Amino acid sequence: MSNPTQLHGKVTLAAEPFGFKGEKERFIAWRQALQLYLTAYASYFPDEKTKLIYLLSKISDQGTSTVKAWKENVLTKALDATTPVWPTLSTVLTDLAQVFGNPNERSQAVNEIETYKQENKHCDEFFSHFTTLMDKAGYDATTHFDVINRILKKNLHSRICDFVIIQKDLPKTFAEWKTQAYAWEARREEFQLDERRKRE
């Protein structure tokens, strides 16, 4: 496979992430560089397995004993001849954040996400920051859905929550919460547009 950065000729959409050696102070920068690279060259990483293989290749063999042991543990399970287990990228990033992330940043994010309210923010703004806080707090959308579900019920705009509650099926995933919230916002904007037209 050719280097993904050659895909657009002389234009480099994203630089390759550096090899992570287990330094907690560099973890956030490494993770962001990795995610940016996987997004920029998504066609080269069509599934979870290829993304995870690339991630593992960017964990340096010259790293700390902790990061080398972590990598060896994942590879041992993934390459088991009898019952190979390949975790999802999201699961791996969450696990890495818990092991190598800044513990102070994580606790700060956990506290902030509990109090981060939508109020008058548009859904784009709210969910963009909420997702960032989830990442910093080490919350996976699937594994920690019960926590996320509880937080959204109290922190989303009250009218959105009322709208969601009257629906036939309550959200069972973070993605469904976002879909319902955006649906309410679209209806509100359509109503406001109709009201403006009536006044003209």
Distance CA 46, CA 152 (A): 31
**Cα maximum dimension of the chain:** 71
Q: What are 145-169's pLDDT values in tens digits? A: 999 999 999 999 999 999 988 887 8
**How far, in Å, CA of 191 to CA of 195, rounded?**
6
More confidently predicted of 40 and 193: 40
Half-sphere exposure of 139 (CA within 13 A, CB side): 23
Distance, in Å, from the CA atom of 3 to the CA atom of 28, rounded to the nearest integer, reads: 24
pLDDT tens, residue by residue, 72-104: 999 998 888 788 888 888 889 888 988 887 777
Residue keyed to tokens 């959105």: 160
Nearest Cα neighbor of 144 from 158, 129, 133 is: 133
> Taking the CB of residue 192, how many other CB atoms lie within 10 A of it?
10
Angle (nearest 5°) at CA 11 between 5 and 15: 45
- Three-state DSSP string of the chain: CCCHHHCCCCCCCCCCCCCECCCHHHHHHHHHHHHHHHHHCHHHCCCHHHHHHHHHHCECCCCCHHHHHHHHHHHHHHCCCCCCCCCCHHHHHHHHHHHHCCHHHHHHHHHHHHHCCCCCCCHHHHHHHHHHHHHHHCCCCCCCHHHHHHHHHHHCCHHHHHHHHCCCCCCCCHHHHHHHHHHHHHHHHHHHHHHHHHHC
pTM of the predicted protein model: 0.53
> For the segment 98-150, what is each residue's pLDDT rounded down to a tens digit?
888 777 778 889 999 999 999 999 999 999 999 989 988 888 888 899 999 99
pLDDT of residue 189: 87
Chain mean pLDDT for the chain? 88
Q: Give the residue extent of every domain in the chain.
A: 4-100, 103-199
Please write the tens of the pLDDT for every residue from 41-66.
999 999 999 999 999 999 998 999 99
**Whether the predicted pLDDT of 7 surpasses 80:** no
Q: Please name the amino acid found at residue 171.
A: P
